[in-house]
Amino acid sequence: MIFSRQFKDRWFKFSLVEQMANIGSEIGRAINWRGKGENESRLFFERGLELLDLTIEDSKNKKRLKELLRVRECLSDYFCFDNIYGSNDEKWNNYFYGFNYAASLKYF
Angle between helices 16-33 and 38-57 (to 10 degrees): 170
Q: What is the pLDDT of residue 37?
A: 82
Q: What is the pLDDT of residue 108?
A: 63
Q: What is the pLDDT of residue 47?
A: 97
Q: What is the pLDDT of residue 38?
A: 86
Q: What residue segments make up the domains of the chain, in order of their start?
A: 17-105
Distance between CA atoms of residues 95 and 61, nearest Å: 18
Reported as a single tens digit per residue, the pLDDT across 18-77 is: 999 999 999 999 999 998 988 999 999 999 999 999 999 999 999 999 999 999 999 999
Distance between CA atoms of residues 22 and 100, nearest Å: 8
Distance between CA atoms of residues 24 and 99, nearest Å: 8
